[in-house]
Amino acid sequence: MASVILPANPSPSRPGRFGVYGGRYVPETLVAALVELEREYEATKADAEFQAELHTLLHDYAGRPTPLYFASRLTQQLGGARIYLKREDLLHTGAHKINNALGQGLLARRMGKKRVIAETGAGQHGVATATVCALLGLECVVYMGDVDMARQELNVQRMRLLGAEVRGVSSGSRTLKDAISEAMRDWVTNVRTTYYLLGSALGAHPYPTMVRDYQHVISKEIKEQILEKEGRLPAAVIACVGGGSNAIGAFYEFIPERQVRLIGVEAGGCGSELGQHAARFRGGVPGVLQGTFSYVLQDEDGQIAMTHSVSAGLDYASIGPEHAALHDSGRAEYVAQDDSAALDAVVRLARTEGILPALESAHAVAEALKIAPAMNPRDILVVNLSGRGDKDMGILARELKL
Ligand SMILES: *Cc1c(COP(=O)(O)O)cnc(C)c1O
């Protein structure tokens, strides 16, 4: 399933393309399903009832708008830019994933699908999907790699409690990539009855666009909130990048605002060799993985490389295609922070602000710790805190010897 090829003639002007990236590289059996999904998704944009229900659920059920919190003690300690945290960690189920799961869950119901499948890495998308399926009365099956099931056991139990079936995946590296392959296999077999609720800005068109649109609310709120609090735009917005959904959500509204730096933080893992990290822009080359053309970590034979990160949610060999385009155009910058910097950032934020970030989000915090001190004290730095750290307590207890 995880084949890497270079498209002969990628056309930049087709829908679902971001520059040359994106597209729809799937088995024949899925093309009709993706076309139907695109059509149904487009129809919801003009469906006032659908939009009103989504808005109400985001507000009353998920807890939007999330606060934009001024981290005054951290700002004082670092002595540079004014640091704000966008508190997606305060959402119901503990991460930004619920924004997308609610949107697509309503879409699944509108399309008359009774069965929903999903993949999950750290388990946050699985939990969000299981939650929305419980809320809407839909059957739910979540695919999760065995490695991730072991390191995010709490989320496995949460999904089961919510009534979802969690299916372990024991092929390949037994992480997110393999869970996606298994979910795609299920979808090919059951496409008429089943909705595939993909969790990041990844995969074949229309997923990267649709997921981005459902996460766009993050940067719409940031812009409104920062203008109200400070009367000006931030100098930079920082977000961690796994597949890229929280980052594209936090960036999107600011793309036309050229003075706002957009900084994506990938997982630097435990070293710079292939297999030791998940920094796609540091060693990845363009290729096709799981339906889309983007940067992929692969070896010289085009075999997908193993990846490593202390955070399961960033541990993926490819990256959303819109980030590939933002990278090549230079509009966004991509850096990497390693496992130990992320762990240090968890401790720093916990003890300075009383906030336990998810290990994924801690990569973004680590970048802020690095660049804030050299910035002008008038500059504003917004860090998207994509999720809370409760799910990581097992890893944190072991790594930090708590
Ligand atoms: C899933 C997850 C991520 C990574 O996914 P993106 O699609 O890149 O946002 C980051 N942070 C948290 C808390 C997550 O649960």
Q: How many residues would you count in the chain?
A: 402
Token pair of 310, please? Answer: 């202390």
Q: Whose CA is nearest to atom 14 of ligand 1?
A: 313
Q: Ligand 1 within 6 A of 244 CB? A: yes
Q: Is the CB of 245 under 6 A from ligand 1?
A: yes
Question: Which region among 11-20, 181-190, 330-339, 370-379 has the lowest average model confidence (pLDDT)?
Answer: 11-20
Asked if pLDDT for residue 10 goes beyond 70, the answer is no
Establish whether residue 360 lines the binding site of ligand 1, counting it when its CB lies within 6 angstroms of any ligand atom: yes
Give me the pLDDT at residue 2, please.
44
97 lines ligand 1 (CB under 6 A): yes
Q: Whose CA is nearest to atom 3 of ligand 1?
A: 313
Residue with CA nearest ligand 1 atom 5? 242
Distance of alpha carbon 243 from alpha carbon 192, whole angstroms: 27
pLDDT tens digits for range 213-244: 999 999 999 999 999 999 999 999 999 999 99
Q: Residue 128 Cα, ligand 1 centroid: separation in angstroms? A: 12
Contacts of residue 248, Cβ cutoff 8 Å, sequence gap at least 6: 201, 211, 212, 215, 320, 322, 323
Radius of gyration of the chain (CA): 19
Ligand 1 atom with least separation from CA of 95: 13
- pTM score of the predicted model: 0.96
88 Cα nearest atom in ligand 1: 13
> What average pLDDT does range 147-161 have in this prediction?
94
CA 255 to ligand 1 centroid distance, Å? 20
Instruction: Say what the pLDDT of residue 33 is.
Output: 96
C-alpha 246 – ligand 1 centre gap (Å)? 6
Are 202 and 318 in contact by the 8 Å Cβ rule? The answer is: yes
The per-residue pLDDT for range 64-104, each reduced to its tens digit, is 999 999 999 999 999 999 999 999 999 999 999 999 999 99
Across the chain, what does the average pLDDT equal?
95
Can you spell out the DSSP letters for 308-327?
--SSGGG--SB--HHHHHHH
Q: What is the pLDDT of residues 13-47, one digit of tens each?
A: 678 999 999 999 999 999 999 999 999 999 999 99
Name the band, by pLDDT with cuts 50, 70 and 90, for residue 11: low
Question: Does the CB atom of residue 103 touch ligand 1 within 6 A?
Answer: no
Give the residue numbers marked as catalytic. 97, 119, 386
pLDDT at position 14 is: 76
Confidence at residue 9, expressed as pLDDT on a 0 to 100 scale: 52
pLDDT tens per residue across span 293-331: 999 999 999 999 999 999 999 999 999 999 999 999 999
- Is the per-residue pLDDT at 1 higher than 50? no
